Structures are given as C-alpha cells and as structure tokens.
Structure 1
Amino acid sequence: MIKIVAVLCSLASPSNCHEQLVTSSDFAQVSVQSCLMGAPQLADWMNQHPAERLAAWRCVIGQQNGRGI
C-alpha cells in the first residue's frame, strides 16, 4: 500500500505548514512511479484545498502497525 503525505502551507501565513495524509478514492491504487512523479490526482486534490499551497509531498510504502514500521 502506498500513501501520499503532503506538506501544506497556508496562503495567508506561508510559514504555517503542516503534514497531511492525502486521502481520496482517487488514490486507492497509486503506483510507486505515479507517486514519485506527483500523482496526477494530487492536482485535483489540491483544488479542494484552495487556502493552502502544496510545498512538498512524500510517498510512504507499506502500512504502519503502531510500531513505526
């Protein structure tokens, strides 16, 4: 399973940034290659967050089981 973690910064306060797990049915079957290239779905997802700017993203492979793995 591949998850995308986005770093979003407020347009009103650019130094106010946070990480958010990108969740959408469009990302259910994201490939590693697509994730590393920015997942075209990411642009559509950002349209739903007009008050924020995408500063970065990373791909997380595998499921976390509570032990940080």
Structure 2
Amino acid sequence: MIKIIAVLCSLASPTNCHEQIVTTSDFAEVSLQSCLMGAPQLADWMNQHPTERLAAWRCVIGQQVRRGI
C-alpha cells in the first residue's frame, strides 16, 4: 500500500507544521505515479481541511517513516 504523508501548516500560525497521513480507506488505491504527481485525492482532502496549508508531501510504500520538521 502506498501512503501519502503531507506536511500541513496552520493558516493561523504558518510556522506551526505537522505531518499527517492523508490516505485513508476512503481513498481509492493510490498508485506510485499518482502519488508522485500529487494524487487528485490530496486536493479533495485539502478542501475538507480549509484551516491548513499543504507545505509538502511524500509517498511512502508500506510503513510510515516519521521525519522531523
């Protein structure tokens, strides 16, 4: 399974950022190519979270590897 890990920043406090897995069971199976291109599902997910800004994303196959921000 490919997971999309997003770096999200608060619009109210732009330096307040965190990582979050944005792929869920609601998403169709995400291909690596789709993930690398930004996955249309990511835009839909962001529309549902208007208080955050997408700063970056990465694609992870299998287990999530947590990175410091």
User: Smaller-chain TM-score range?
Assistant: 0.7 to 0.9
**Which residue of structure 1 lines up, in the alignment, with residue 34 of structure 2?**
34
| Equivalences, count | 64
Matched, 1:51 2:51: yes
- After superposing on structure 2, the runs of 4+ consecutive aligned residues of structure 1 that deviate more than 6 Å are none
CA shift digits 1:23-59 (9 cap, x unpaired) = 3312x40000000000011101001110000000000
Percent of pairs with identical residues = 84
Which structure 1 segments of 5+ residues have no match? none
SS at match of 1:50: coil
Q: Distance in 2 between matches of 1:11 and 1:20?
A: 16
AA in 1 matched with 2:5: V
TM superposition score normalised by structure 1 = 0.84
TM-score normalized by structure 2? Answer: 0.84
SS in structure 2 at match of 1:43: helix
CA RMSD of aligned residues (A): 1.4
2:6 is aligned to 6
Q: Which amino acid aligns with 1:62?
A: G
* Gaps in structure 2 of 5+ consecutive residues: none
User: Based on CA coordinates, which of the two structures has the bigger radius of gyration?
Assistant: 1
